[in-house]
Structure 1
Amino acid sequence: MYILKPFSFSKRFPETEVIGSAFAGNQDQVIPLSFGFPAPESLPADKMTAATEAAMLSQGRQALAYSGGTGPKHIINWIKERSRLREIEATENEIIVTSGSSQAIDLITRTLTDPGDEIWVEAPTFFGALKTFRLAETTLFSFPIDENGLRVDLVEQELNERVKNNLPLPKLMYVIPNYQNPGGVNLSVDRRKRLAELAYKYNFFIIEDDAYVELSFDETYLPAIYSFGPERVVYLSTFSKIIAPGLRLGWAIGLSAIIEKMRILKIDGLTSVYVQEVTKNLLEQMDMDEQISYLNTIYLSRKNAMVSAIKQYFGDEVSFHEPNGGFFLWLTFPPQIDTSEFLDTAMLAGVSYIAGKHFFLQNEGYNHMRLSFTFCKEDIIHEAIKRLANTYYEYVNSKQMIEEVN
């Protein structure tokens, strides 16, 4: 019999806290406002069944081989055409299909940075991206957002200071320009232009993560940052928010030299050619504009239900930017509140959320909370906000009692 000896894991793993109890344990009785999940009824199960059958009937064994059938080429062409709506012109060599946009973030990071290089991000920002950047052993620096998105003026100010003092400049700037996760804000056109200009001037690349661009409730679409700086922007998007996250299909658009290196690092080869074949068939039978309109009708109604319930049960206790698209509401509580302190109690009351601290680099955002309005129906959202408010006020009252005793 062998005695197992201690074994040390790779040192590249940072100390990363599990993101709340929102993803742990039995959640059968929990209303999930934490998940960035689409509405279950929006997932095109019937059409997917037909598309899967067609993949086998039309391509058969080719679709199951390493290089696949006609699907991958069709998907690239679809991306090229759809990207023109964002004022993006790209060739086939400038596009790579990835296993979701998260893989694209990882590939770009490993292509354009070495350990110790700086990546600048928004504050708050998507915690999945932060995890990727930390695993790549990069140095992170953040800038606040306001109702018009990233404070590009502060980015420019910092760049100027770095040059004056001969300090390192960033290699990458990570931005979510439309219905930002978690803030829900859009980057203004003027700021998009200026950020692109700064990327050229100071020689850094922008990762433009545009996962939510299609989900515009008033059908207003701004030009991509890429359109102002194609030589210094890598543009990302995904099928996850408009068809189904289970497809795990996303894409990146950038200089062919970057895309070529991303292909080298993508050791899994072509992204699931069979899934691409099925998706090709799905796109052929689906009116995408009709699908987007359907999604936005659902999500607008659910967003309005959440906003109404928050105003009813929280009143002036919280503030938030009301997004006109996307998946999320970003709540701000009084400065002394730490939303992570009543997360477990909320779970016991049957509602989950993501505490604000997870969207910042360090020791920030404790009085914030992200809620998703897309997954649950309106009546369920109303009940969830009621439970959340009750939990919150119980927490505040207990906090006040402890302070009085002390």
Structure 2
Amino acid sequence: MEKLKPFRFSKRFDDVPLIGSAFAGEHPGLIPLAFGFPYPNSFPINELAESVVAALKSEGTEALQYSGGPGQKKILKWIRERSRLRSIDVETDQIMITSGSNQGIDLVARTLTDPGDSVWVEAPVYFGALRAFYLAQNELSAFPVDGDGLRVDLVEEALIEAAAGKRPMPKFIYVLPNYHNPAGINLSVERRKKLAALAYKYNFYIIEDDAYVELNFDGDFLPSIYSFGPERVIYMSTFSKIVAPGIRMAWVISDPEVLSRIKIVKTEGLTSVLMQEAVSCFLEKVDFEDHLRPLVAGYRMRRDAMVKAIGDFFGSEVSFEKPKGGFFLWLSFPSEIDTTKLLHDAVEAGVSFVDGKSFYLDRKPTNNLRLAFSFCDEMQIRKAIRILAMVYQKQKNAVC
């Protein structure tokens, strides 16, 4: 056989970082606080099994075709009704089902931008979105968040500079408004209104990634950014956190012109029509609020267990915003601590997390890390935080 010659792959891959540090499968017994997986008991196994069987028995002939069955329309109607709780009032033809939120992010980025176009993100920012924007060959700029979310005042200053020709105007700004990944904070109502107003004034879009909105621990829901600017906001949410990520179903809401173009980019056609049929049956079978209540309670208990353990084992040596929902807690250490080094030692000791640099454009070492409280039970969380505190003390003593 002739020896293979080197092959040049797409240039898109050259600058796309791999978030591989949180994968530690070679360490048996590892307590995983790295990625945001739902806890196993949250999955409605029996109801989903019955729903899949019901979908096949009632609509199998259609549901197994490319075009699918009637469940698609039922799903869109459910999303439309549920979206009204976020002050989003749309018709079903403004909703498109995607294979998970990340596909939606990717589709929107490729619809709105050409290579070299400017995209603005938060700092820190969800690394899955970063990867989509890198692959779309966008030029990225980042703006910090604080306890009230994205610093919209700094965004406005940059937009004024862009309008004066001093920097590129963004095609869109990507925002996680509720239970931010990784920071765990919420964007204030005032900043939501201001950001939407800026999108109209400077003619850019906002991608509102609302993956965690249903996982609200306090019961206080804020109006969506979309409600303040429907012609300039593309809204996304998902079934991954409220049913199961394995069904690979999320959705995009936008004005008809944008949605028609996204559908052109979505070359594979309709998303898993059989699963849409099954989820439609599931949503008809269950009382959704009754389904959601214990789910949220489970995440709240895990959040509380992590907060208490951090207080018990770290005291005042670390800081964080207590998340009011979602999956994640963003922990800040003293400035001399490098969480990338901390990660290596923590994995060896039996705990994983994602180091802070994975959430920033420059990927320089930081003193932050993201902890997921979503997957492990309370005992595992407490044990993991105790181990992490021990590893931290060793690094702190070595630095001193």
Q: Secondary structure at the match of 1:240?
A: coil
Q: 1:186 maps to which residue?
A: 186
Q: 1:8 maps to which residue?
A: 8
Q: 1:301 maps to which residue?
A: 301
Q: Aligned partners of 1:216 and 1:145: how far apart in 2?
A: 20
Q: Secondary structure at the match of 1:218?
A: coil
Residue 166 of structure 1: how far off its partner (Å): 4.9
1:313–1:372: structure 2 CA closer, same or farther, 3 Å change rule? same
Deviations 1:276-314 (A, max 9, x none): 011111111111112221111111111111011111111
Q: 1:122 maps to which residue?
A: 122
Q: 1:280 maps to which residue?
A: 280
Contact 1:14-1:135 within 8 A present in 2 as well: no
Q: Secondary structure at the match of 1:251?
A: strand
Give the alignment of 1:61-76 within 5 angstroms.
61-76=61-76
Give the alignment of 1:2-401 within 5 angstroms.
2-364=2-364, 366-400=366-400
Letter matched to residue 196 of structure 2: A
- Structure 2 length as normaliser, TM-score? 0.98
Letter matched to residue 42 of structure 2: S
Deviations 1:30-50 (A, max 9, x none): 010011011110011111110
Q: Secondary structure at the match of 1:184?
A: coil
- Structure 1 length as normaliser, TM-score? 0.96
Residue 14 of structure 1: how far off its partner (Å): 3.2
Quote the sequence identity (%): 55
Q: Aligned partners of 2:45 and 2:212: how far apart in 1?
A: 22
Letter matched to residue 94 of structure 1: Q
Residue 73 of structure 1: how far off its partner (Å): 1.1
Contact 2:353-2:370 within 8 A present in 1 as well: yes
Q: Secondary structure at the match of 2:12?
A: coil
Q: Aligned partners of 2:191 and 2:122: how far apart in 1?
A: 13
Gaps of 5+ in 2: none
Q: Secondary structure at the match of 2:252?
A: strand
1:19–1:166: structure 2 CA closer, same or farther, 3 Å change rule? closer
Letter matched to residue 262 of structure 1: I
Q: 1:404 maps to which residue?
A: none
Q: Secondary structure at the match of 1:370?
A: strand
Q: Aligned partners of 1:146 and 1:365: how far apart in 2?
A: 20
Residue 154 of structure 1: how far off its partner (Å): 0.7
Deviations 1:250-273 (A, max 9, x none): 000001111111111111110000
Residue 92 of structure 1: how far off its partner (Å): 2.1
Contact 2:319-2:333 within 8 A present in 1 as well: yes
Q: 1:403 maps to which residue?
A: none
Contact 2:16-2:135 within 8 A present in 1 as well: no
Q: Aligned partners of 1:21 and 1:103: how far apart in 2?
A: 23
Q: Aligned partners of 1:334 and 1:388: how far apart in 2?
A: 15
1:387–1:316: structure 2 CA closer, same or farther, 3 Å change rule? same
Residue 364 of structure 1: how far off its partner (Å): 4.7
Contact 2:27-2:348 within 8 A present in 1 as well: no
Q: Secondary structure at the match of 1:336?
A: coil
1:301–1:270: structure 2 CA closer, same or farther, 3 Å change rule? same
Contact 1:14-1:134 within 8 A present in 2 as well: no
Q: Aligned partners of 1:342 and 1:16: how far apart in 2?
A: 24
Q: Secondary structure at the match of 2:170?
A: coil
Q: Aligned partners of 2:292 and 2:148: how far apart in 1?
A: 24
Letter matched to residue 11 of structure 1: K
Moved more, 129-138 or 361-370: 361-370
Q: Aligned partners of 1:111 and 1:193: how far apart in 2?
A: 25
